[in-house]
Structure formats: structure tokens, C-alpha cells
Structure 1
Amino acid sequence: MIWIVLAILLAVILALLLALRAEDLSHLDRDELPPCDRKPSDQHEEVLAKLRELTSSARGLKGKARLYALRRHMDTLSDGIPLSSEFRPSGAGEPRGEWVIAPGTDTSRRILYIHGGAWVAGSPRSHRAITDQLSRVANAAVFAVDYRLMPEHRYIDGLRDCRNAYRWILDHGPDGDQPASFVVVAGDSAGGSHTLVLLAWARDRGLRQADAAIALSPSTDLTLTAPSNRNNIGTDPLLGPTFGGLSRIPLPVLWWASYAAFRVPPASPLASPLRGNLANLPPTLVHASDCEMLLDNARRYVARARDAGSPAELHTWPGMVHVWHIFAPLLPEAEEAFDDIGRFLHQLAPAGKPSATVEQARKTS
């Protein structure tokens, strides 16, 4: 009897090892980054001070107390910043989140924004500095989805909230039922991962695809095999102190731990969009800092998307912290990044001009 149990246990272990096994994607590291001859602005030091406040807010705490302290501090990141948009919570029966509407915005142009925070923290409130700027540069109403977070909920629950929000904004705006004329999906870090996963899901479901996507310092590969995950620990003032210690743990152990936490294999496209089918996706703009741990997550995703025939661009900034966009308008480089996003979107569909998707729908109706 014991031999039967051992055989079953061995079969289960082998099946899990196969599920966790990650394809070698080192061939995607072929493109060298252009040399940067510019140093960060003086305001970058103020940003580093704010990051030290963030990390110290949970010092000495453990478990849930540490997590809740981190969440509370993140929700204050946009406090005191001059924001010009209206922030309107969603109503009963609608996806949880808030509409962010800059003055004079064309509300038929819409952005679904998915915040970062390692899937365990963050909220629409914590990322208002980003959504306020996005609404302005895109002349679009931004819906910041308040998706369910781990560990109170499963990883897939948060992803499903993003899917539901995407379906909803296609036909609903801040002022009621109205088809969208232009749709963008955007997110940062963990939310950047959800953004890229969502694009493939919409394609596979035959839904109207987004007209564009924006991923800011995205996580694209939970297998942690990209070189910058280790090489940039010392130069990443946000992720380095938090996740740098993981580099001392063997990858198979990390994969098992990731599988236990996410209930999804780390090599699954549901958690690692880099490892899915990247063909027939909308134009995608990816931002990353040249010194952050997730740099090669961004580089590899763009390289593989291009290999699959999907239009994708990677724009990098020298010496910036992870998701430096959240420090607008304090940080000049954040302002530059939003101007870059505005140019990217304007090339696809200038404000006031319907997107190609809508034009095609009109012609066939």
C-alpha cells in the first residue's frame, strides 16, 4: 500500500514540476539599451526620501499589521498634490472603482486603469497622481478599477474584476450608457501585468480589442528568470530592499512559493503575460527605468510582442525609481513620461477623431 501512495505522490510532484517549468527566454535579451548620458533631476532625491518614508511606515511590524500599514501609507501618496480632475466613485451595481475626469474631457474616450502594489496593496486613491495626468494627456475619462487584493482574495479574483471592468467601460461611461469611441487599458507594475494579461484575454474572447495599451514598469514574468531581477537589485531603491533577498532562494523554491500564493503556475500566461500568445495585440507602449529590477521584464515583453507581429514600443528613462510616474508633478521625468504617453495616444487617435475600431464598426453597421 505504501508503494502505491509513494507512486501517486511522485506522479503529483512530477506533474507539478512540469507545470512550473519555465521556457528559456534569454534569446529575447538580444537588444542593447542605448547609453544614457543624462542624470536624474535634483527632485529625484525628494522622491527617494518619500520612498524611505514608505518603507519605514511598516518597520517593526509583521504579517497583516505590516501589510495594512503599507496600504494606509500608499493611500496617502497623492495627498497634497494639486489634482485638476473630478473623482467620482462608481455607483451601485457597477464595477468597484472611481472615474477620473479632467476638465473638458471627452467621456466617450476611456481608459481602464489598473493600479500596482504587488497585487496586495494600492487602490484608485493611491494612484490618483497617475490617473489625473492620464485623463489630461489622453482627453479621456479614466476608470480606476478597485480590484480585489491578495491575500484576502485569490489572485484570479482580482483579474476577473479587471475583466468585468473592461467589458463594462466599452458601453458605459461616467454619465451613463454610451459606447466608447476610443479605449485604452493601462496599468503599472502588478497592474501592468494585469493590463497585458487582459489584452490577450479580450482577443481570445472575441471582444472589441482596446485601441491601445500602456504598461508602466510592468511585471511580465513571475518566473523571475530575467537578468535584471538580480543584476539591478542594488540600483532599485524601491524593489531592491523589498524583493532583493529573494535572489538568495533557489528558483524552484520560489516557483513553488509563487504557485502556493497565486494558485496559478508562475509560467502561466495568466500570471506571466510574456509567456502567452502575443500575436494580434493592440499598439502597446511600455515604460521602464534603466536601473529597476523589472527592466528586462519590459524589454523581453516588447521583443516577443514584436516577434509575434504586434506593435510595441519600449521607452526607458535613466536612473528613475520603479513607477516614477506616481511622483508627478514633483518629478520632471514623470511629466516627461506623461507627455510621451500623450504623443503616443494622439498618433493613434487624436482627440475628437474616432478610433479605427469605431470607424470600422460604423461602416459595417
Structure 2
Amino acid sequence: MFWIIAAVVLFIIALTLLLFRTEDLSHLDEAEYSVREATPSEENLKVLERIREMGKAGKGLRGKARLMAMRKHMDGLSDGLDLQSEFRHCDSPNGEWVIAPGADTRRRILYIHGGAWAAGSPRSHRAITDRLSHIASAAVFAVDYRLMPEHRFMDGVRDCRKAYTWLTANGPDSTIEATFILVAGDSAGGSHALGLLAWIRESGLRQADGAVAFSPSTDLTLTAPSNRSNIATDPMLGPMFGGLSKIPRPVIWWATLAAFRISPTSPVASPLRGSLVNLPPTLIQASDSEMLLDNARRYAAKAKAEGSRVELHTWPGMVHVWQIFTPILPEAEEAFADIEGFIREIEAGKRQPEEAQT
């Protein structure tokens, strides 16, 4: 019996090593990065209270009932805000157009919402998409991609790819080609956004002019140090996912494979694990106190080493995806001003080659 058990254990270990071959990326943690010198504003206390309310939404519930409560709570995040944009539903691809007054609909942004691939919607992230439409003077398409567990992870990925391909040639009112395209997303949606950039490159499609990712998940292997070291300082993800730190990583990898039907080492699920060569200018914003900080740091460091322009801008003491709490949070307004400047830099860079040719 002992030898049978030992043989089974050795087989599982060998199979784990074969299926989940992971490159050691700890050298990327040596890259230097700066954090803005600031103290979280008083309004941040109001945000923390809203985070606590979100945690209470599923209290006492389990399984599907808990997930439904979380989805309902997230969909109400933008309720009560004075949003000036037009919100227009789209059936194919499924999503929502967000158009600020005076926006140029030839300028387009694909927005991919977060929510751990199981929650969130275009409605839940209207505070962000409304703000993006204003600062970029662009029509934002918030894709309503299929969520787990009702659908497979790859169904959501395909929805994002379909939406981007369609967006290059279709606006809210016409089939005129886009003059400017930005891909943006937060958290899980940030992972989809970064993975999408690599797929666009490999597919030979027109690449986005730039990308913005808020606190993106870049690596489902959970090997980045802050996935564990920042549990206590992350009021949103810490209570939800901090317990994973007590589970051996190989067990998490097998569970991820079973739930996602894709290996956590796949670049589709973990953009950090793929080639980051020849990507468009990308801005990543993250908080120094959140669990996904080092996911962002590692992605930026690797992309730079491979020749892509990826900037990481870090705020102190902010909650995960604090940008969604605009306009009540001054740091959210700072983040959007940062994005506005980034977009101007992208467009200035595009004009220089064109002027040189003329």
C-alpha cells in the first residue's frame, strides 16, 4: 500500500511540474518604481466604508446566492452619480456605448470591466466609462462579456476579441473606421485588456494606439510577493482572496485549471507569461497597498526589458481600482488627469511621424 501511495504522489508531482511549468520571474521584483508622495485624502474613509458595505452584501450567503448578491451590489456602484454621457445598449457585440457630449465617435475606447471574471457589467463601471469618454473626447464601448461560472473563461476572451475587431470599423452611428483606439480595463478586465493586445499583435490586426490598465491581474500563478504580503493592507481583495495564501500554490493551479479550463500559466490567462514585445504604449495604475501591486510591477518591468513602452504609476494607500470612486475621491480625479496626459502624449507621438513624412 505504501508503495502505491508513494507512486501516486510522485505521479501527481511529475504531472504538476509538466503541466504548470513556470518561469521564475522573481528577478523582475528588483526593478525600481516610484510611489507618489501623498497621504490618502479624507474622502478615502468614505470609500473604505463603501468597501465594507460591499463585503456585507454576500454575508451569510453561499454559492450562487452570494455571487448574485455581489453582482447586484456592483451594478449599483454608479447609482446616484450625475453622469452626463449618453448610455446606449448594443446587441451585437453585446455591450454599452458611453458617449460624452461633443465626443468624436471616430475616436473609440474599448473598456473591459473587472469583477474576478464572475461579476461586474457595463452598468457597474459607468463612473469610469463616463469619465473616460469625457477626458478622451471619445465614444467608449463597454463590452458585456460572458461571465463565469455560467460560461467558460475563454467565452469572455472571445467576446473581447470580437468587440475589438468590430470596434475598429464600427462606431455608435456608422461603419466609419476609427481614427483612434484605446483599450482599457480594470482588475480581471485589465488582464483581458493586456492579453488582448498580444492577440491583436499575433493576429496581424490594426493595433490599438494605446492601453490603460487599472490594477490588472497579470499572472494567475499567484507567485508575485504582494499576493501574500499585501493581504492585510488590501481592504477589498484581502478579505475575498486572502485565504488563498494558506493553500499550496500547486493546489491553486489545479483548481484554476478545473474552474477556468485553461492553465494559469497560459499567456491568455496570465499576460505576464507571454511575449511582451512590440506592444502599444501602455499606462498601468496601481496602489502600493493592494495585493496585485507586484503583478503590475512585474508586467511593466518585463515589457520594458522587451522593448515595449509600459509605464507604471503608483498611488499610496488606495483601494483596488480606486478610479471607480470618481468624483468623490480626489485621487480618482488625479488618476484620470494622468490618463488624459498619457493620451495627449500618444497622439503627439503619432503626429510626429506623419509630420516627418510631409
Q: TM-score range by the shorter chain?
A: over 0.9
Give the alignment partner of residue 300 of structure 2, picking from 299, 302, 315.
Answer: 302
Q: Which residue of 2 aligns with 1:153?
A: 151
Alignment of 1:67-216 (within 5 A): 67-91=67-91, 94-216=92-214
Alignment of 1:1-365 (within 5 A): 14-34=14-34, 36-91=36-91, 94-349=92-347, 355=350
Q: Partners of 2:9 and 2:166 in 1: how far apart?
A: 44
Q: Partners of 1:165 and 1:7 in 2: how far apart?
A: 48
Q: Partners of 2:9 and 2:181 in 1: how far apart?
A: 48
Q: Is the 8 A contact 1:181 1:355 kept in 2?
A: no
Q: Which residue of 1 aligns with 2:3?
A: none
Q: Partners of 1:80 and 1:359 in 2: how far apart?
A: 44
Q: Is the 8 A contact 1:36 1:318 kept in 2?
A: yes
Q: Is the 8 A contact 1:182 1:358 kept in 2?
A: no
Three-state SS of the structure 2 residue aligned to 1:50 is: helix
Q: Partners of 2:235 and 2:89 in 1: how far apart?
A: 33
How far residue 33 of structure 1 moved from its aligned partner, in angstroms, is 3.5
Three-state SS of the structure 1 residue aligned to 2:168 is: helix
Structure 1 pair 257–356 and aligned structure 2 pair: CA distance change class (3 A): farther
How far residue 348 of structure 1 moved from its aligned partner, in angstroms, is 1.1
How far residue 317 of structure 1 moved from its aligned partner, in angstroms, is 0.5
Residues 236-278 of structure 1: per-residue CA shift (max 9 Å, x gap): 0000011011101111111111111111111110100001000
Q: Partners of 2:277 and 2:330 in 1: how far apart?
A: 35
Structure 1: 5+ residue stretches without partners: 1-5
Three-state SS of the structure 2 residue aligned to 1:349 is: helix
Q: Partners of 1:184 and 1:358 in 2: how far apart?
A: 19
Q: Is the 8 A contact 2:35 2:313 kept in 1?
A: no
| CA RMSD after TM alignment | 2.2
Q: Partners of 2:149 and 2:354 in 1: how far apart?
A: 43
Which runs of structure 1 show a deviation greater than 2 angstroms over 4 or more consecutive aligned residues? 6-17, 31-37, 354-360
How far residue 31 of structure 1 moved from its aligned partner, in angstroms, is 2.2
Q: Partners of 1:53 and 1:8 in 2: how far apart?
A: 46
- The percent identity for this pair of structures is 65
Q: Partners of 1:35 and 1:138 in 2: how far apart?
A: 25
How far residue 347 of structure 1 moved from its aligned partner, in angstroms, is 1.2
Three-state SS of the structure 1 residue aligned to 2:207 is: coil
TM-score, length-normalised on structure 2?
0.94
Equivalent AA in structure 2 for residue 299 of structure 1: R
Q: Is the 8 A contact 1:74 1:122 kept in 2?
A: yes
Structure 1 pair 208–338 and aligned structure 2 pair: CA distance change class (3 A): same
Structure 1 pair 9–242 and aligned structure 2 pair: CA distance change class (3 A): closer
